[in-house]
Amino acid sequence: MVPDINLLPKRERQSASVKWLFIAIAVIFCAFLLFLLYRSITLSSQLTGLKSEQQSLEIEKETLLEKLSVIDDKEAFDLETAVEFVERVSYPVSPLIIEINKGLDEDAYLREYAFTETAVQLRVDFETMPEVVSYVDYLSRSNFFEDVFVNEMTAFDPVNEEDKSQFNVVDRFANSFELPIRLQYLRADGD
């Protein structure tokens, strides 16, 4: 008789369910690792994009700060320009306003006036065309002005449509003038 000698330890066979459990855990772990790898790649590309966007925004910020400093310089420049303009254009305006108002008829209305470096611009309303002609004649004979330019002349209705049915309304004339100033005469105090 032969003795049965088995020196190997007894091993029990594992069941198939435990084997499938380990395979499932390994697959889930590999999927998790693949997901982490995918997320790290996408996040690194997003990080690269954000860094380039940050650099472009910093460049834009520097550009805007430079523009802001230029604007601040322009404001100072504009103030200097305004002071230079006032010093260069300083002439007495009261005699001009008096002369402009002196020629207006009682029914005329001086809407606005503006002074430029070499001229006066006016907007005046008149009731009749002869008043316009008379005013242009007066200004052209004035020593304060070199010439009289009528830029615009329009007729307008001074009354609302509802009031028109009761009265016979005559149009008024809105005029825009430009009067080049005789600076030598003005600076000589109108002598």
Q: What is the pLDDT of residue 12?
A: 66
**pLDDT of 56-67, one tens digit each?**
999 999 999 988
Residue 12's Cα: distance from chain center in Å? 87
Q: What is the pLDDT of residue 3?
A: 78
- Rounded CA-CA distance 186/191 in Å is 8
- Say if residues 103 and 120 touch (Cβ distance below 8 Å): no
**In terms of DSSP H, where are the helices of 90-128?**
94-102
**pLDDT of 128-166, one tens digit each?**
888 999 999 999 999 999 999 988 888 877 666 565 556
- Say if residues 170 and 129 touch (Cβ distance below 8 Å): no
- DSSP annotation of 170: P
Backbone angles phi, psi at 140, to 5 degrees: -70, -25
In the predicted model, what is the mean pLDDT of residues 91-101? 87
- Rounded CA-CA distance 191/24 in Å is 112
Neighbours of 146 (CB within 10 A): 15
pLDDT: which is higher, 91 or 189? 91
Local confidence band at 70 (pLDDT 50, 70, 90 cut-offs): confident
CATH number for the segment(s) 94-160+170-187? 3.30.1360.100
pLDDT over 90 (residue 169): no
End-to-end CA distance of the chain: give it in Å, rounded: 158
Q: What is the pLDDT of residue 68?
A: 84
Boundaries of every domain in the chain: 18-90, 94-160+170-187
**pLDDT of 121-130, one tens digit each?**
999 999 888 8
Q: What is the pLDDT of residue 188?
A: 76
Q: What is the pLDDT of residue 176?
A: 93
**pLDDT of 11-56, one tens digit each?**
666 677 888 899 999 999 999 999 999 999 999 999 999 999 999 9
